[in-house]
Structure 1
Amino acid sequence: MEWTGWAAGAVRRHSGAAVRAARRAWREPGRERDLMAQAGKAALAAWVAWAVAGWWLQAPMAFVAPWVAVVLVESTVYRSIAHGLQQLAAIAVGTVLATAVGLVLDSTLVTMAVVLPAVLLLAQWQRLGSQGIYAATGALFVLTNAHVSLATSGARIAEAVFGAVVGVAVNALVRPPVYLRDTRAALRDAAQEAQEILDAVAEGLAHGEGGSSAAGDWHERALRLGRLVDQARSAIGWSRESMRGNHRGRRSGTVSPPGQAYDDALAVLDQVAVHTAGVTRTVLETVSHDDRAPLPGRRITGPYADFLRHTARAIGLYGRTRFAEAGSGQPAHGGLREAVQELRRSLDELHRALPGAVADEPDALATQGALLAQARRLADQLVPD
C-alpha cells in the first residue's frame, strides 16, 4: 500500500509538471515551446524520410533513413550539419570496412572479431567527435544482415545520406532554433541576483542586522552568482552557434547576433560577481571574528550601505538596459546615468567618512579599508572611466 501510494503521488506530480509545461508552451515563448517544436520537427523528419525511402522507394534498409533523420534534428543548425557530416563519415567507414572484410572471410563470427575492435578504436578518432560510435553501428548493420554484398551496403549508405539531408533540411527550414532569448534571460538573471544580494547586504548593515548567519547567507548567494554568470557564458556560446546557418535569426528584426556587446556585458558581470563575493566575504569575516576585527560603526556602515544601494540600483538598471530585447525602447538609459552619478557620489562620501570613523582603531581601520577596497573595485568595474 505504501509503495502504491508513493507511485500514485509520483505520477500525479509528474503529470502536473507536464501539464504546466504544456500550458507554458501554449501561452508564451520559452524553453518548453522550443522543446516541443524540436520534438515535432524530429517526428516530421522521420516521417518524411520513411515516406520516401520506405513507402515510395521500398528501399531494402529503409529504417536507416528515418533513424538518421531523427538523430540529426539537433539543438542548432550548425550542430546538425557538423554532426551529420561526422555521422555519415563514420557510417560509411564502418560499412565499407565490414563489407570488405565480410566478403573476404565469408564468416560473420570471424568478421565481427576482426572488424569490431577496429571500428571501436576508430570511434575514438577526434575528427569524428561524438559521432564516432556510428562506425560500429554501420558495421553491425552489415554483419547482422543475412547476406553481405556491395549492393546492399551501397544502398545502406545512400539511405543514411538521404536521412541526413532530410534531418538537416527540416531543422534548418522549419523554425530553426534561436537561443538569444535564453542568453538575454541568463544575463538579466545574473544582474538581478547581484542587485538583490547587494540590496540585502545594504539593508542588513543599515539596520544592524548583519549577523554571522545573515552574512553567511549573503556570501553563499554571492558564490552562486558566479555560477549564474557561467551559465550566461554558456548561453552566449549556444546563441552564437544557433545563428550559424540560421535564416530565421538573420531575417528576424527582433533578434540581434551576440556580438562584442555581449562579451563586454559578460566581462562586467563576471567582475561584479567576483567583487560581490569579495564584499560579502569581508562582511562575513568582520561579523564572524568581532573579537579581532570590531564591527563597523554607524559612521561607516551608513555610507557603505548607501554605496551598496546605489551599486545595486546601477547593476539592476544596467541589466535591464543592456539586455533589453529589440523593439522594447531600450528603457532606463536616463535612469542608469543618474544611478552612475549617485554611485560616484556615494563612493566619494565613503572615502570622506572612513578616516574620521576609525582614526584611533588600527584593527577597525584594516576592516574598513578592506570594505572600501572592495567598494572601489566594484565601482570601477561597473562604471569604468
Structure 2
Amino acid sequence: MQDSTILSGRTAVTLTQLRRTLTRQIHSERADHVVHGVKTVITALLTWAVVAPWAPDSQPYLAVATAVLMVNASTVYQSVTKAAQSVVTRIASLVLALVTARLLGPTVGAVAVIAVIAVLAGPRRTTDDRLQVASTAVIALTATATDPMGHLLSPVLQTLTGAAVGIAVNALVLPPLYLNESDSAVRDLAHALGTLLDDMGTGLARRQLTSNAHAWLHQARNLDKRLTHAEEQVQQADESLRWNTRCVAHTRRKDTTSTGTDAFRVLRGVSIQVRGIARTLADSAHDDHTDHHLGQQFLDRYADALQLAATAVQGFVQTRPVTDTANASPRERLRTAIDGTLTWHHTMTDMIGQGRLTKPGAWHVYGSLMTDVERLLTDLDRGDMHRPSEPTPREATFNAERV
C-alpha cells in the first residue's frame, strides 16, 4: 500500500511537470509566431517606403519579396549568407540574360543557350542555384532585350535594398535564438540514455536478460534519431549566436555557445557505450555456448552499475535541484553518481581479476561490458571537469531571459 502511494505521488509529479513543459512550449511557439508576424509586417512596410519612390512604376515587389525572405531566415547569420547568395544569383542571371539577348535576341535559341549555360555553370554551384539562375534569366530575357540597362540595374538595386532592410530588421528586432531548443534536445537525449541504462539495470536485477535483451538493443539503435535531432539543434543554437545583437552585451556568450556543444559531444560518446552494452547483453543472452553465459552474481552487480550510470548520465545535464536533494547542486549529484560507479568498477575489476566471478569461456563478454562502463564514466568525468562552474544569480538571470 505504501509503495502504491509513493508510485502514485511520483506519477502525479511527472504528469504535473509534463503539463507545465507543454504549456511553456505552447506559449513559446505562440510568442515566436507573433514576433515573426510583426517583423515581417515591419520589413514589408519599411521596404515599400524606401524602394517605391524610385522603383519602376512604383512597384517594389522584388525588394519586398527579398526583404521578407531575409527577415524570416532562421538566424541572423543565415539571413546574411542568403542575402549574399540571392544578390550574386540575381546579378548572374541578369547578366546572362543581357548577354544572350544582345547576341540572339528573345528567341527560342536564346532560351536553349541559357539552359545549357546554367547546367554547365560549374560543379561548385548547387543544382538549386543553377535552376534559379536559369529561370530568372529566362524571365528577364524579353525585358533586357527591350531596355537592357534599365532592366539590369533596377532588379539588382531592389534585391540589394530588400536584402539590407531584411537583414537589419532581423538583426535589430529580437533576433532569433535557439538556446532553449538546444538545451531541451540535449536533455531529452540524456534522459533517453539514462532511461535505457536504468531499464537494463532493472531488467538484469529482475533476471529478465533473455526476455528483454533484444528490446534493449532495439531501443539503443533508435537513439540515432535523437542524436541527429540533438546535433541539428545544437548546431542551430551555435549559429544563432553569430552576429546576434542580443548576445553582444553579455560576457558569457562564448561559454553559452560551447556548453551545449560540449555536452552533446559527451553524450554522443556515451551513446556509443550504451549501444555497445545493449549489443553485448543481447549477444550473450542468445549465445548457444553455455560457457559463454554471464554469471548471475556478476549480472546482479552489473545491474547496480547500470542504474548508477543512469543517474550520472541524467545528472550530467541537470540544471535544477531535485526536491528530495535540495541541498545538493547538480554537479554534486553528478559527482556522487560517478564516484559510486567508479567504486563499483574497481571492486568488480578486482573480483574478476581474482577469478571469483568469471567463467573461462566468458572472459571476452565480461571485458566488453566492463570496458563500456569504464569509457562511459570517463566521458562523463572529463566532460564534467570542462564544464563551467555553477552560474551566479546574475548569470542565471541571463540564462532565463535569453529566449
The TM tier, using the shorter chain, reads 0.7 to 0.9
The DSSP-based 3-state class of the residue aligned with 1:126 is: coil
Unaligned stretches of 5+ residues in structure 2: 1-21, 321-326, 386-403
Q: Supply the distance in 1 between the matched residues of 2:364 and 2:243 (Cα, whole angstroms).
A: 56
Q: Supply the distance in 2 between the matched residues of 1:337 and 1:194 (Cα, whole angstroms).
A: 18
Matched to 1:378, the amino acid is: L
| 2:303 is the alignment partner of 1:273 | no
Q: Supply the distance in 2 between the matched residues of 1:215 and 1:174 (Cα, whole angstroms).
A: 53
Asked whether the 8 Å contact 2:338–2:377 carries over to 1, the reply is: no
Q: Where does 1:249-268 land on structure 2 (aligned, <5 Å)?
A: 249-251=247-249, 258-268=256-266
Cα distance, 1:121 vs. partner? 3.4
Q: Where does 1:11-160 land on structure 2 (aligned, <5 Å)?
A: 27-30=26-29, 33-34=31-32, 37-38=35-36, 40-54=38-52, 56-57=53-54, 59-60=56-57, 62-73=60-71, 74-122=73-121, 126=124, 131-145=129-143, 147-160=146-159
Asked whether the 8 Å contact 2:182–2:260 carries over to 1, the reply is: no
Asked whether the 8 Å contact 2:196–2:216 carries over to 1, the reply is: yes
Q: Supply the distance in 2 between the matched residues of 1:339 and 1:24 (Cα, whole angstroms).
A: 32
In the alignment of these two chains, the number of paired residues is 352
Partner of 1:209: 208
Q: Supply the distance in 2 between the matched residues of 1:168 and 1:274 (Cα, whole angstroms).
A: 41
The DSSP-based 3-state class of the residue aligned with 1:248 is: coil
Matched to 2:171, the amino acid is: A
Asked whether the 8 Å contact 1:233–1:266 carries over to 2, the reply is: yes
% identical aligned pairs: 26
Relative distance call for 1:42 and 1:109 in structure 2 (3 A) is farther
Matched to 1:46, the amino acid is: A
TM-superposition CA deviations, 1:83-132 (whole Å, max 9, x none): 2112111111211231233244443434323334324433x563689545
The DSSP-based 3-state class of the residue aligned with 1:280 is: helix
Cα distance, 1:207 vs. partner? 0.9
Cα distance, 1:298 vs. partner? 3.1
Of 109-118 and 196-205, more deviation after overlay is shown by 109-118
Of 297-306 and 128-137, more deviation after overlay is shown by 128-137
When the two chains are superposed, the root-mean-square deviation of aligned CA atoms in Å is: 3.2
Partner of 1:238: 236
TM-score, with structure 2 as normaliser: 0.76
| 2:184 is the alignment partner of 1:175 | no
Relative distance call for 1:57 and 1:348 in structure 2 (3 A) is same
Partner of 2:299: 301
Asked whether the 8 Å contact 1:77–1:176 carries over to 2, the reply is: yes
Asked whether the 8 Å contact 2:76–2:175 carries over to 1, the reply is: yes
Partner of 1:193: 192
The DSSP-based 3-state class of the residue aligned with 1:72 is: helix
Q: Supply the distance in 1 between the matched residues of 2:76 and 2:287 (Cα, whole angstroms).
A: 55
Partner of 1:3: none
TM-score, with structure 1 as normaliser: 0.80
Q: Supply the distance in 1 between the matched residues of 2:110 and 2:127 (Cα, whole angstroms).
A: 26
Q: Supply the distance in 1 between the matched residues of 2:146 and 2:40 (Cα, whole angstroms).
A: 32
TM-superposition CA deviations, 1:35-81 (whole Å, max 9, x none): 56445534543343334434x54534522112212222311111111
The DSSP-based 3-state class of the residue aligned with 1:250 is: coil
Asked whether the 8 Å contact 2:185–2:230 carries over to 1, the reply is: yes
Partner of 1:320: 318
